[in-house]
């Protein structure tokens, strides 16, 4: 047992016997041999668990729905928030929803559809938490990024104090993240435990329930997308410049509901139901496209609105030399893309199905055209791995898109590979390091966590990591909150994307 029986009993007294375990089988399922798992049922239990961690100087980490494997944890107490899965409120008038951490996006989205509304869904998919935390996704054009959607928040600090942020700090209202009341949105990431949060919701012109027919994995719409005043198209362009021009024009005209910078491999993954079918479809698409592209979804509020938006789109595509991928014009394919990409249900096909793992380098926040050059360079390096047969062959495809109608942007490139093949894993990790360094050195962008050591990134970005370290000390004097990836000075978590598959996590060590 990682912690003494007496201490274990104290945690057990908080959550109940059935909601704590340090059995090897339970830990195997979390791939962390040194943890004790607790399942708090509400905010008060979270706070009590965290206070106990402080009392005994035991590190802790919390997780909502989880997606993929988190970096190896060296912690003793792992808070699995699965029992906290309630939608607290949907406020139609003020356009927000309040959720607990284990509400998945599909659940919230399903409830919102009935009310003619929709929430942002992270690109990792609708099986992930509906909390408005970091994450960029398919609907970014309309609903922006995850962290631009968070409103009032209930937060348990690393010391176990329950803090209500934004309007919640001054009232019972959840409509604003910045006040009246304290705003700590800038430092939320990685520290403490978010136990409830309000997220923005948006107008949804689509149906309250998609009229689906057939059986898994081949659901189809019983109506044509056009019958729902909706349309999906994939356009490829002669150059990146033309693609960016088209994206910006679409953003300016505000005609699209969704613009996803899919590469052909992501389209083929979404519409196919097996690897073999996927690779064959990708081969076909690769020959059909003329260059970089994106998928766009038009959603009209009524027939005239739909007609107007389609007309504007046609004009933009004409002006920018876009070419429509014929396969996507087939209503059967179109409808599959429509419900896959508005419900964000097939991210796993895009990422994990082919080889079992993917490692991604993403750049987000700036405008797409600012960092797209980096993306091209990263693709050249990726093609070298493809040539050597180390990663899935997808012609080095990369992707990106404008968010908030093009004011912000996201670019990303990932390699899909077999994580149990040492050569592949090593090659991917080296590639991540190279493209991450290139992003920094070329002043393109800041690579996401796990690509380079925090210290190396920080010195390029106003030494933010030092400030973060100071904040960490202030909020977590006992150093029990595990957020290595964000703030610990000197922490090197580069390599986590691939190492989780082959390395045993090190023995737990208390940070006393």
Chain residues 389-428 in contact with another protein, contact rule CB under 8 A? 389-392, 416-421, 424
126 in contact with another protein (CB under 8 A): yes
Between 112 and 439, name the residue whose CB sits nearer to another protein: 112
Q: At 111, which helix (H) or strand (E)?
A: helix 105-114
Q: How far is the CB of 238 from another protein (least distance, A)?
A: 31
Between 68 and 301, name the residue whose CB sits nearer to another protein: 68
291 in contact with another protein (CB under 8 A): no
Between 103 and 132, name the residue whose CB sits nearer to another protein: 103
Q: Calculate helix-pair angle for 264-271, 331-343, nearest 10 degrees.
A: 100
Q: What DSSP string describes 438-449?
A: HHHHTTS-PPPT
381 in contact with another protein (CB under 8 A): no
Residue 342 makes CB contacts below 8 A (sequence gap 6+) with 118, 138, 139, 206, 257, 258, 297
- Sign of the torsion formed by the C-alpha atoms of 251, 254, 260 and 264: negative
In DSSP terms, 364 is beta-bridged to 410
Q: Which of 134, 275, 499, 510 binds another protein (CB under 8 A)?
A: 275
Task: Please choose, from the candidates 296, 407, 344, 409, the residue with its C-alpha nearest in 3D space to the C-alpha of residue 120.
Answer: 344
128 in contact with another protein (CB under 8 A): yes
Distance CA 325, CA 340 (A): 18
Q: At 386, which helix (H) or strand (E)?
A: helix 368-387
Q: How far is the CB of 58 from another protein (least distance, A)?
A: 19
21 in contact with another protein (CB under 8 A): yes
Distance CA 431, CA 424 (A): 10
165 in contact with another protein (CB under 8 A): no
69 in contact with another protein (CB under 8 A): yes
Is-contact 31 69, C-beta < 8 A?
A: yes
Tokens of 503: 């390395």
16 in contact with another protein (CB under 8 A): no
Distance CA 191, CA 59 (A): 12
Between 200 and 349, name the residue whose CB sits nearer to another protein: 349
- Binding-site size for another protein (CB under 8 A) equals 75
Give the strand pairing for 408-417 and 399-403.
antiparallel
Tokens of 405: 């109608």
Q: How far is the CB of 278 from another protein (least distance, A)?
A: 9
Question: Which residues from 202-221 bind another protein, rule CB under 8 A?
Answer: 209-210, 212, 215-219
Q: How far is the CB of 343 from another protein (least distance, A)?
A: 6
Q: At 106, which helix (H) or strand (E)?
A: helix 105-114
In DSSP terms, 201 is beta-bridged to 119
Between 40 and 300, name the residue whose CB sits nearer to another protein: 40
Between 129 and 236, name the residue whose CB sits nearer to another protein: 129
Q: How far is the CB of 33 from another protein (least distance, A)?
A: 9
Between 346 and 449, name the residue whose CB sits nearer to another protein: 346
Question: Which residues from 317-356 bind another protein, rule CB under 8 A?
Answer: 339-340, 343, 345-346, 348-349, 351-356
31 in contact with another protein (CB under 8 A): yes
Distance CA 467, CA 11 (A): 33
Between 420 and 467, name the residue whose CB sits nearer to another protein: 420
**One symbol per residue from 216 to 255: x for binding another protein (CB under 8 A), - otherwise; what is it?**
xxxx------------------------------------
């Amino acid at each position: 047992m990682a912690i003494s029986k007496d201490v274990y009993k104290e945690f057990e007294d908080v959550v109940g016997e059935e909601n704590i375990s340090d059995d090897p089988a339970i830990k195997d399922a979390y791939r962390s041999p040194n943890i004790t798992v607790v399942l708090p049922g509400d905010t008060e239990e979270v706070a009590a668990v965290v206070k106990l961690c402080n009392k005994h100087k035991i590190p802790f980490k919390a997780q909502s729905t989880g997606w993929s494997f988190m970096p190896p944890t060296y912690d003793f107490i792992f808070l699995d928030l699965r029992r906290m899965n309630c939608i607290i409120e949907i406020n139609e008038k003020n356009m927000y929803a309040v959720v607990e951490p284990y509400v998945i996006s599909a659940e919230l989205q399903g409830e919102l559809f009935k009310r003619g509304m929709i929430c942002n869904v992270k690109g990792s998919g609708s099986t992930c938490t509906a909390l408005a935390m970091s994450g960029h996704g398919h609907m970014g054009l309309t609903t922006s990024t995850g962290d631009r959607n968070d409103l009032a928040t209930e937060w348990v600090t690393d010391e176990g104090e329950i803090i209500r942020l934004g309007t919640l700090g001054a009232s019972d209202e959840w409509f604003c993240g910045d006040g009246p009341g304290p705003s700590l949105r800038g430092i939320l990431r990685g520290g403490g435990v978010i136990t409830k949060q309000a997220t923005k919701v948006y107008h949804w012109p689509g149906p309250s329930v998609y009229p689906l027919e057939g059986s898994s994995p081949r659901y189809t719409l019983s109506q044509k997308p056009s019958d729902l005043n909706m349309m999906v198209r994939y356009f490829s362009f002669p150059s990146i410049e033309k693609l960016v021009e088209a994206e910006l024009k679409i953003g300016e005209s505000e005609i699209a509901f969704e613009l996803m910078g899919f590469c052909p491999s992501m389209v083929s993954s979404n519409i196919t139901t097996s690897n073999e079918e996927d690779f064959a479809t990708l081969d076909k698409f690769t020959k059909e496209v003329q260059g970089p592209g994106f998928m766009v979804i038009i959603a009209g509020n009524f027939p005239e609105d739909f007609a107007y938006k389609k007309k504007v789109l046609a004009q933009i595509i004409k002006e920018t030399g876009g070419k429509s991928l014929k396969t996507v014009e087939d209503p059967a394919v179109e409808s599959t893309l429509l419900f896959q990409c508005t419900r964000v249900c097939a991210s796993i096909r895009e990422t994990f199905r082919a080889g079992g793992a993917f490692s991604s380098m993403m750049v987000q926040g700036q405008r797409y055209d600012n960092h797209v050059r980096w993306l091209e360079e990263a693709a050249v390096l990726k093609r070298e791995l493809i040539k050597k047969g180390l990663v899935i062959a997808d012609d080095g495809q990369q992707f990106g898109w404008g968010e908030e109608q093009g004011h912000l942007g996201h670019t990303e490139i990932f390699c899909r590979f077999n994580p149990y093949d040492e050569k592949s894993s090593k090659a991917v990790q080296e590639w991540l390091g190279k493209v991450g360094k290139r992003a920094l050195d070329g002043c393109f962008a800041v690579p996401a966590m796990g690509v380079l050591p925090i210290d190396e990134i920080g010195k390029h970005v106003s030494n933010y990591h030092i400030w973060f370290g100071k904040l960490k000390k202030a909020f977590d004097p006992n150093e029990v909150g595990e957020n290595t990836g964000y703030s610990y000075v000197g922490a090197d978590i580069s390599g986590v994307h691939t190492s989780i598959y082959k390395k045993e996590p090190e023995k737990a060590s208390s940070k006393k």
